[in-house]
Structure 1
Amino acid sequence: MTTFDWEKAFIFTPYSTQEGIEEQLGVNFNDPSDIDWRDDIYLLVYLNDDKVVQYIEVDRQGADFTIGEKKHLTPSDDLITIERY
């Protein structure tokens, strides 16, 4: 459903820190969403050639998002589970 090339996508939970995001991504990324202070969104960050090419703020809307035990998503393995609470 994307219109851009990507190799990896990472999903970050509410209250994720800037340092934790950069550590997981392995690149510098100035989080414009301020997710470290928020509990109303998840942050989905796409990388291509080790560069951030897109990010999306996903409204929680009473649900939790997970990619299971995976470290990141790839175009061939991009399943996200949504659980209502």
Structure 2
Amino acid sequence: MKRSSLILLPILLLGCSSESSTISEQIASQFKASNTAPVDLSIVGPVSWERVCILSPYSTNQAAEQILGFKWDAESKTSISVDDGINVLIFIEDQRVVGYAEHPRNMGDFSKLQPRCLVRSQARLKREFGAGNWVYLVSP
């Protein structure tokens, strides 16, 4: 195998859809930077995504398929089916997942977001304050 092939293989593997804590860290950074500023999802995640979809706690593969419009194994790739402390953000390009992230709800809760999927140009979310200073991220 040529040396260039050895270098290219890990890059190609990284380009496949995978969970990324960096996405959640970028969202948390925006969330913590201000108590009132919107959280702009259009500037996070893989560069190629066209829409982002949100799975709420206890979502199953069947729920993921209804939201995404295609099959995706959320139950094995994430802990969303058993963890009520997270939302899962799924970044999509051309009906395929290009990235996803588990995001702690205490750093911005997406569970009230409607619609469940947003195109990139509409992915700037406002804060809605709930009981006990809980913060939901919702469409403007």
- TM-score norm. by structure 1 comes to 0.82
User: Is there any run of 5+ residues in structure 2 with no aligned partner, and where?
Assistant: 1-42, 135-140
Q: Which has the higher contact order (CA 8 A, sep 6+)?
A: 1
Cα-Cα RMSD: 1.9
Which structure: greater helix fraction? 2
Which structure: greater strand fraction? 1
Deviation at 1:64, TM superposition (A): 2.5
Q: How high is the sequence identity, in percent, across the aligned residues?
A: 29
**Residue correspondences, number:** 84
User: Is there any run of 5+ residues in structure 1 with no aligned partner, and where?
Assistant: none
Aligned residue in 2 for 1:46: 91
Deviation at 1:23, TM superposition (A): 1.7
Structure whose CA Rg is larger: 2
**CA distance 1:81–1:42, change in 2 (3 Å):** farther
- TM-score norm. by structure 2 comes to 0.53
Aligned runs of 1:49-68 on 2, under 5 Å?
Answer: 49-61=94-106, 63-65=108-110, 66-67=112-113
